[in-house]
Structure 1
Amino acid sequence: MNFKHTFFLSATVLLVTAGGAFAQVKKKPAPSPKSKPVPAAKQIAPPANAQILPSDPFLLKGTLPNGLTYYIRSTTALAKNAEVVLVNKAGSVLETDAQRGYAHLISHLALKGTPGFTEEQLAAFMQLNKGKLKADSNAISSYDESVYRLTVRTDTADALNKGLKLLAGWAGGITFDAANVNAAKTGVTEELKNSLNVMKDRLDKNALPFMLNNSRYALRNPKGEEAAIAAADAATLKSFYTDWYRPDLQAIIVVGDVDAKQVEATIKTIFSALKGPAVPKPVTLYAIAPVVGTQIKFITDKELPYVVTQVVIPQPRAVAKTPAGFMQSVQLNLFNEMLANRIDELRQQSNSPFLFAQAGYNSFIGKQDAFIAMVLANARGIDTAVKTLATEIERTRKFGFVSTELERAKQNALSQVGFEYQQRDNILPASIAAEYQRNFITGGIATGTSYKYNYYLDNIGKIDLATMNALAAKLLNQNRAILLQAPETEKALFPTEQAVRTWFTTGSAAVSAYEDNASIPLMEKLPVAGKVVSIKTDSTILVTNVTLSNGVKVILKPTQFQPGQIIMNGFALGGTSLASDADFTSADLAARVIGISGVAGFSQTQLERMLRNKSVNISPYTSDILHGFTGFTSANDFETAIQLLHLYFTQPRKDIAAWQKTIADTKGALVLRAVEEGSVLQDTANAILSGYNKRGMTTTIAQLNAASLDKAYQFYKDRYSNAANFTFTFTGSFTVEAILPFIETYLGSLPTKAGTETFKNLGMHPPAGNITRTIVKGKGDIALTQMIYSGKYDYSAVNNIDLDAVETILYLKLAQRIKDTTGNIQTGVRVNYTKHPESRYRVNIDIQSPVADLERVTGLVVDEINKFRQNGAEQKELNTFVLDDARTTQSQLRQNAYWSGALNVAAQTGDDPDKILLHVQSLQQLTIPRTKEAAIKYLNDANLIKLTLLPEKK
């Protein structure tokens, strides 16, 4: 079950992903705000003294006589799909002491069926819509709401109607059959027991009463209490359901490729029958008492691998209902942008005490927002980390921001909102539905993209520095809760409460104002341009192939799918396969460290400041057989982006501080990984799947200690010294004529030398034969198994379709066979196929179940595989795969990202790119006998690896 309460330790997963990232300017692509596009239909902003904001003009909203609210929006951003949501203003905060966990239980019970849908019919409906009914995605229970969400197809006659009928059943027709109630209780009870072995859950249990100031929210964890759940029966659960699942507290949201008026009529037909109790129970609004002064709490845990410091300053929730409220939301966005940039600068410093850091003002819990800051540090750096955080908060509270920061933030905000406006027809239904959900829960107006765009253009210039600094002083007041969490073994290193209090109060008295550096041009002198020596147009896919005088090859695909967006990619064959074993770790880190070192004479901090008002994201990367760049930019910032690309080739920066930070971050991620029980299984899998080659295994501390910046820098220089090895792809909002001068100037001038490079085949693949391993580690009652089939492969479009079919069809078979009666049985299927360095395939089947059920569940999986090999797909399974794959492809063919990836793959593999358009046609040729042949070929027991992770015996 997914609980939407806001607690922050879960954000530490970002440390792991940040450790492997090499992006350096993390901005979305957006158009320049310098010239204001003319809206197709400008939404007129009301006068400043207006009392209410206008609603989204594309929204059809209404209320039924029974009180139910509906939101309907037609969009073709995701063709032939719709997001269908039931929102109920009832969560755990409305539970009595005896009912703690009832909202959670009912969301589980809903998945057992309704009068119109048996559990089997529910599963079949989800399969039809390419999904699996799961309590952590279809049903979400939190403090203030219970949400049921479906994605349904709209290209079939009755899928949408069935989805709405299902939501109506959940809204008012859940059956409280004793057997189903007991099954739901068993599932929820097992979740609670397992949570005792989950570090985050243990920390939450100790921290929430403090963070929520011992309020009603602190006493109503959505997961519930075991005793209350054990005592629940059909009658008591139905009583809670009757009280709080009622039309006046409910909303239906439908967003997608639909006829809005027709959907409205259907909603009126289906949902008007719902009735609430004759005497509705009053809804009590519970508040969280304000924090007074500086409150401090220390918590330790035996598994926590680092120190987490969190500062929470609650504020009353800001709901944008009027233009004045909307202006406040704009100011809050600017505040978050400026403060986030300051925190990021601190994190980028070579001597930074932070492994991870973030800060900003956002929604909190209940009717509250909050300023929340969080930093991660090594235990022995806790004093420095907390002092640094305290100093930066006090600096901002006391002195506010400077004018150059505000101007950059405004420019970035205009750029972002301009991009959103240009992409308004491509906003995914789930994102639009989420806005309507917030509107229903909080009462804030869903204005739509056009109003937001025009409001920003007309009003952001009115925001002055004094206003922002007053806001900073208000948001960063000294009524705050400070939570420090640390490993139990490092308890002795905790500072005293008085020390922490001093750092956040009198200890920051000597803080000085922030100093900003002025921006200068990225390139003051342009390089000597090269020339186009060959240009060929592929009229089938509307692609232009260019060769430059220095040998660089360029693929140009102009589109208008996402106006203003350009996606950039460049690759050369080689990658880390060209490094020696001794230098591999250094080489593997090369692109990552260069990507956070700045370029030419600019440090990373200086570079980020220079690019903050531009939408530019360029990142070098290195894989086992490739090296190159990925990125995107707005059309108006394209020259800056390609200048940055040029500098990464010609003037990469060697920065010892960036190297030290990369090593420290990687070591920190390894420490975090060591406490994750599943990591030992993955480590074993990595070793076997790479043929026990150290390059395919998890990096060790010893390897990091032996790596060197000199070797990493030299490896990078060697790989990027010959641009003639490179092929670049540009996809998006440009014309060939307009872009060619930039291509000639910045790519045609790149250095080249004699000779070409390609990758080495190091033989990193799974060994043939059968391998079985069982690993015992961790606690709890959950077992994990991976079954991995692999072998040589004939890479072709036809075989790729066959393998994709194996993935989907086997998943459908397993989903149908395995009934998730305990809430803890899950299966998944993943396929992978490659042409280089040699053509191979892999099929991974993942199984998660209670230890007691593992043998039975594995037997069911094996039985389904055997049936698949004997009989192939069923016709309905084949139809589902073909229809879904065709629909997905047709949607992707209207996306820049898809074309960029497909053209790159074709260039890397040497395939004919025109075949990109033939995929849907090729799907129609798939037959049941072919699926049987594919199952026999690719699910071959002769090459099977089986890995199992079991918990330690209690």
Structure 2
Amino acid sequence: MKKYYLIYALASGLFIQPVLAQQKKTTVKAPIAKATTKPIVGKIIPNDPNVIIGKLPNGLTYYIRKNTEPNKRAELYLANKIGSLMENEEQQGLAHFTEHMAFNGTKDFPKNEMINYLQKAGVRFGADLNAYTGFNQTVYQLPIPTDSVEVFKTGFKILANWAGKVTMDGKEIDNERGVIVEEDRQRGKNAQQRMSNQLLPFLLANSQYAKRIPIGKVEILNSFTHDKIRSFYADWYRPNLQSVIAVGDFDVKEVENLIKQNFSDLKNPASPKTRINYDLPDNAQPLVKIATDKEQPYNVAQVIYKQREGSVKTDSDYKKSLIQSMINNMLAGRIQELTQKGGAPFLFAQSTYGSYQGGLVWGISALTTIAVSPTTAGLDKALKAALAENERMAKFGFTAGEFETVKKKIEAGMEKQYKEKDKTKSAVYVQQYLENFLTGSSIPSADYRYAETKKILTTLTLTEVNALAKTLVTKNNQIIVVQAPEKDAKDLPTEAQLIAAIKTAGNGVTPYVDNTVNKPLIAQMPTAGKIVSETKNDKVGITTLVLNNGIKVILKPTDFKNDQVIFTSFGKGGSSLASNDDFQSAENANLVAQSGVGDFNPTQLTKYLAGKTANASAYIDSEYQGFSGSSSPKDLETAFQLIYARATNPRKDVDIFNKNISDFKVITANKNSSPTSVYADTVQAVMANYHKRGMPTTLQDIDKISLDKAYAFYKERFADASGQTFVFVGNFEVEKLKPFITTYLASLPALNKNENFVDNGINPPKGKVSKTVYKGLEDKATVQLMFHDDYVYNADNNIQLDALKAALEIKILERLREKESGVYSPGVDLSVQKYPSAHYYFTISFNCSKANVDKLINAALEEVNSFKVNGATADDLKKFKSEEARQEELSLRDNGFWLGYLSNRLKYGDNVEQLLGDKQRLDAVDVASTKAAAQKYLNGDNYIRLVLVPEK
């Protein structure tokens, strides 16, 4: 029941996202806008002394910092203070198009040579090498190894080529048109885009922002003459609007010299165009816009209270931003609590203060309140309920208890961040310097943030917090937006009713009552058990403990993070053990885990844990049940207590359960409005071969979900801990962990059932299957081509499949995107499983126009057949091996990698020393082995073709 993810994705659809040239989405705050000039209040925050900030004679700014996390790596960025707002009428979309062209040929790297060179150096296209374009900025990112002098130096050469040496070859421009049109198709051609087209001119007040959406206009993209994009590049890609950011494991003086050598010869235009900062107008009266669409599944209302606010530059700004974070946290807690109660009038609600439209409009922030209603008729009621929390906050403020709780949370987060200051990733610093260049925001050091936050928390009063909270609900600059299904348009609240909802939302509100539970998490401490055996494996650095109740505990101490311990556990069984009559309830037993623990509902548990950096949750999936979580070393006992409490004292909450079931019904009833939802359900059904236990959930299925059965199943799954295996990775000492292990794990109940999961036969169909779904209003098709079969699961076979997947992905991208210009970001996915039955799945997927479906499928299959005849090319295998080796270097110093690696090896009964043979297995991959793998795994005997096209 991924309910809130689905609704939140819908509710956040109003935000305009920057346009990415490659496949990876990067979330970066956009620069802030020109606002009314205000006097500086407070002391200017000093810049971190560890960053060197300089400027070349031509105006290019640079930031350099030495940082060794990760080792032998650097993050190189080229930031440009230019975006779609700089385009003229004939250039709409060409800022983004220019970004694409930077990867299609420069003076020193013709055509695709840049990408080929970097891939052979272990840099992944899309995942590492990337770029994005917004209204005001275009940013290129290049993570690169520093242990190769030649590769590292070439990185700066690449940045300089982007900055001023893109060739803009006419043939390459024309080839790229189709790719960008397909990018627009992949990201849009849906209800969200159609509603955005209705809403954006309104939200952006018909300003220059509304006229310069980064993706541009398809008709211009298809027809602009080459001189238009060349002029844009010549006018705007200039050093006085550019910055080079370099953070990593390198010599600072050497990097400064490399920047001077590569960028000093770049010239500004003789008569540079003025770079204008655009603004949005104020509005004294509420503005209302209602948008409907045939494929919109939910009723969403949003109220925005806009106000002008610049970036954080002074200690006063810093204090204000800290208080705003506290307000967001406390307000979110209240709405979460309201959502959990029976009778909440919305499916989802939130109220948050932050940058307007996701930070893409300069200098404007807003309190944004969203309510998703189960019915059109109840939309104004849902909205009023969410707005009432704003009014309750403004009228009565927050309580002393809430204030103390949030201070503990802020302090705990600050302490954790400070402890990790020497383990901060280079990418984190890059974002700080990027913000400084684009918006002028400060670059405080970790020491400054720690000391300033501590000082503020010591002196801050509840009165100050409540005074600022009151200002967030403004009387002017109010905007109301409604999105709803077209069929319900006549039943929607009128503009007058929506405005009245704002004005009357505070009627009758009373002060918030804090319901903190003042009890211990565990009422009676358990009787400690014993460790019955201990073994060590120095090759992978682990200690294995066996407890008296049969639990195994694997411990891997690391120094990768100073303040992190992460853990997971698994025991065989899961929902596979439920009968066919009860599996719906069993599959939703996780609702019990989401209901809190013992006497603590989720809100009360959050308050109890304030000030502690520890969490532990329980899960039940199809084959396993267990626990997962994380902790600061100082709060490890709390994490162990949470494990014990979730295993022995789960909470049965009728209100939370009924609210989730009610919401789930609404979502299920409405989901068929969305073509992607209908397609996803079809894919799920086909891949389960229409097995009942693998089918999409229906309303009739939901009616079979019983709280009593779900609760009983949860308790039964955790009644026998004898089959559990725990894995702990992070900064701890084994001996100091043992008392927690004996007290809270060795005391868990054990029935010694020696359980296993059941293979219920949910398998994909054998043979050739083709299924086409006809759903959707616009010319957008989705294609998945799947090769699958039973499989001998082992490390040797896995690496051959990985190599085949990586090489095929390169060729599919080259063929479908570069040669055919028919797609934007095709994907090749590989999934292998050992249990409940060993199977592999190769999936080629892409979006395209309906007319190109058959042509592009045939092109993809031609590439597959080429692999069966010739295998992968030696060049592509070199890229694969280099990327694998580079990624393993990073993985071996990552706690998350080790947690996943150890738990998977133990789940599958593999040798935990398996990774020690990775190099030998990688060396065994060659052209002949990939040819044999293609003939075996891509033979087409079991081939599934799944296509979504618009309605006939």
Indicate the residue corresponding to 1:576 in structure 2.
575
CA, structure 1 residues 452+786, in 2 after alignment: closer, same or farther (shift >3 Å)?
A: same
1:443 aligned to which of 436, 440, 444: 440
1:423 equivalenced with 2:416 (yes/no): no
The AA in structure 1 aligned to 2:200 is L
**Matching residue's letter, 1:682:** A
Distance in 2 of aligned mates of 1:17 and 1:760: 35
What is residue 372 of structure 1 aligned with on the other side?
368
| Further displaced range: 126-135 or 836-845 | 126-135
For the 8 Å contact 2:370–2:383, the answer to whether it is kept is no
After superposition, the Cα gap between the structure-2 partners of 1:506 and 1:843, relative to the gap in structure 1 and judged at 3 Å, is closer
Deviations 1:905-942 (A, max 9, x none): 12211222122433344423434333332222222222
Which residue identity does 1:799 align to in structure 2? N
Structure 1 residues 154 and 936: CA distance shift in structure 2, 3 A: farther
Identify the residue that residue 76 of structure 1 maps to in structure 2.
68
Report the Cα distance in structure 2 between the residues aligned to 1:18 and 1:105, rounded to whole angstroms: 28
Counterpart Cα distance in 1 of 2:623 and 2:127: 40
Identity over aligned pairs, percent? 38
Matched, 1:867 2:859: no
Structure 2: distance between partners of 1:774 and 1:684: 9
Q: Quote the Cα distance in structure 2 between the aligned partners of 1:229 and 1:729.
A: 53
Give the aligned partner of residue 236 of structure 1: 228
CA contact (8 A) 1:809 1:873 kept: yes
CA contact (8 A) 2:398 2:512 kept: yes
Q: Is the 8 A contact 2:52 2:64 kept in 1?
A: yes
Give yes or no for the alignment of 1:406 onto 2:398.
Answer: no
Please, what TM-score do these two structures have when normalized by structure 2?
0.90
| Counterpart position of 1:388 | 385
- Is residue 2:213 matched to residue 1:216? no
Q: Which residue of 1 aligns with 2:449?
A: 452
- Taking the TM superposition and a 5 Å limit, the aligned residue runs for 1:459-858 are 459-479=456-476, 480-520=478-518, 521-591=520-590, 593-670=591-668, 673-820=671-818, 822=821, 824-858=823-857
The CA deviation string for residues 614-644 of structure 1, in whole angstroms up to 9 with x for no partner, is 2232222122111111111222222222112
Cα gap change, 1:509 to 1:458, in 2 (>3 Å):
same
Paired residues of 1:298 and 1:483 also in contact (CA < 8 A) = yes
Write the letter of the residue equivalent to 1:330.
L
Query: 2 CA distance for matches of 1:159 and 1:567?
Result: 35
Structure 1 residues 123 and 781, CA, compared in 2 at 3 Å: closer, same or farther? farther
2:877 aligned with 1:885, yes or no?
no
Query: Match for 1:417: what amino acid?
Result: M
Query: Is the CA contact (8 Å cut-off) linking 2:132 and 2:139 kept in structure 1?
Result: yes
Distance in 1, matches of 2:635 and 2:697, equals: 38
Find the counterpart in structure 2 of residue 274 from structure 1.
266
Name the counterpart of 1:432: 429
Aligned partners of 2:532 and 2:548 also within 8 Å: yes
Alignment partners' CA distance in 2, 1:919 and 1:134: 25
Hey, what's the Cα distance between the residues in 2 that align with 1:273 and 1:183?
30
Q: In 1, are the aligned partners of 2:120 and 2:878 still within 8 Å (CA)?
A: no
The verdict on how the C-alpha distance between 1:167 and 1:688 changes in structure 2, with shifts beyond 3 A counting, is same
Q: Structure 1 residues 193 and 581 mapped into 2: Cα distance closer, same or farther (>3 Å)?
A: closer
Please tell me whether the aligned partners of residues 87 and 252 of structure 1 are also in contact (alpha carbons under 8 angstroms). Answer: yes
Residues 161-202 of structure 1, C-alpha deviations (whole Å, 9 max, x = no match): 444333323322333444444445555456567877322222
Contact 2:335 / 2:349 at 8 angstroms: preserved in 1? yes
Given the superposition, is the C-alpha separation of residues 945 and 257 from structure 1 closer, same or farther in structure 2, using an over 3 Å criterion?
A: farther
Per mean C-alpha deviation after superposition, the further-off stretch among 517-526 and 244-253 is 517-526
Which residue of the partner structure matches residue 44 of structure 1?
A: none
Between 1:190-199 and 1:387-396, the stretch displaced more is 190-199
Aligned equivalents of 2:790 and 2:220: distance in 1?
55
In 2, Cα distance between equivalents of 1:15 and 1:431 = 29
Counterpart of 1:207 (choices 181, 199, 207) is: 199
For 1:723, what is the secondary structure of its paired residue? coil
CA distance in 1 between counterparts of 2:873 and 2:128 reads 29
SS in 1 for 2:378: helix
Inter-partner Cα distance in structure 1 for 2:73 and 2:629: 29
Which runs of no fewer than 5 residues in structure 1 stay unpaired?
Answer: 1-10, 20-47
> Would the aligned equivalents of 2:185 and 2:848 in 1 still touch at CA under 8 Å?
no
Q: What is the RMSD computed on CA atoms of the aligned residues?
A: 2.8
Deviation of the 1:845 alpha carbon: 1.9
Q: Does the 8 Å CA contact 2:186/2:824 hold for their aligned counterparts?
A: no
Contact 1:132 1:815 in 2 (8 A): no
| Structure 1 partner of 2:33 | none
Q: Contact 1:181 / 1:233 at 8 angstroms: preserved in 2?
A: no
Equivalent residue, structure 1, for 2:923:
924
Distance 2:530 2:757 in 1: 29
Task: Measure, in 1, the Cα distance between the counterparts of 2:516 and 2:184.
Answer: 54
Quote the Cα distance in structure 1 between the aligned partners of 2:631 and 2:696. Answer: 33
| Structure 1 segment 343-362 matched on structure 2, within 5 A | 343-362=335-354
Contact 1:319 1:443 in 2 (8 A): yes
Query: 1:194–1:781: 8 Å Cα contact kept in structure 2?
Result: no
The alignment partner of 1:276 has SS state of: coil
Q: 1:305 corresponds to which residue?
A: 297
Structure 1 CA distance for aligned equivalents of residues 127 and 521 of structure 2: 50
Aligned letter for 2:429?
Answer: I
> CA offset at residue 758 of structure 1?
0.8
Alpha-carbon distance between aligned partners in 2 of 1:498 and 1:715, rounded to the nearest angstrom = 50
CA–CA separation in structure 1 for the residues paired with 2:829 and 2:504: 56
Which residue pairs with 1:949 in the alignment? 948
CA distance in 1, matches of 2:410, 2:539: 39
Q: Structure 1 residues 637, 134: CA separation in 2 closer, same or farther (over 3 Å shift)?
A: closer
CA gap 1:204/1:274 in 2 versus in 1, 3 angstroms: same
Deviations 1:354-410 (A, max 9, x none): 322222222221221222222222224312211111211111112221222122212
* Letter of the 1:263 counterpart: V
Question: What is the one-letter code of the residue matched to 2:414?
Answer: V
Q: Deviations over 1:437-477 (max 9, x none)?
A: 11111101122433322322333222211111111111222
Distance in 2 (CA, whole Å) between partners of 1:780 and 1:131 is 37
Cα 1:678/1:256, change in 2 over 3 Å: farther
Contact 2:822 2:852 in 1 (8 A): no
Change (3 A) 1:226 1:513: same
Q: Contact 1:784–1:846 at 8 Å: present in 2 too?
A: yes
Cα offset, 1:157, TM superposition: 4.0
CA distance in 2, matches of 1:892, 1:195: 31
Change (3 A) 1:833 1:558: same
SS at match of 1:806: helix
SS in structure 1 at match of 2:524: coil
CA contact (8 A) 2:120 2:879 kept: yes
> Does structure 2 retain, via aligned residues, the 8 Å contact 1:817–1:860?
yes
8 Å contact 1:194–1:780 — kept in the other structure?
Answer: no
Alpha-carbon distance in 2 for matches of 1:127, 1:854: 29
Moved more, 668-677 or 509-518: 668-677
Letter in 1 for 2:7: L
CA deviation after TM superposition for structure 1 residue 660, in Å: 1.7
Deviations 1:482-525 (A, max 9, x none): 21221121123322333332332244132212221344221242
Give the whole-Å Cα distance in 2 for the aligned partners of 1:725 and 1:529. 18
2: distance between equivalents of 1:225 and 1:428? Answer: 38
Greater shift after overlay, 812-821 or 841-850?
812-821
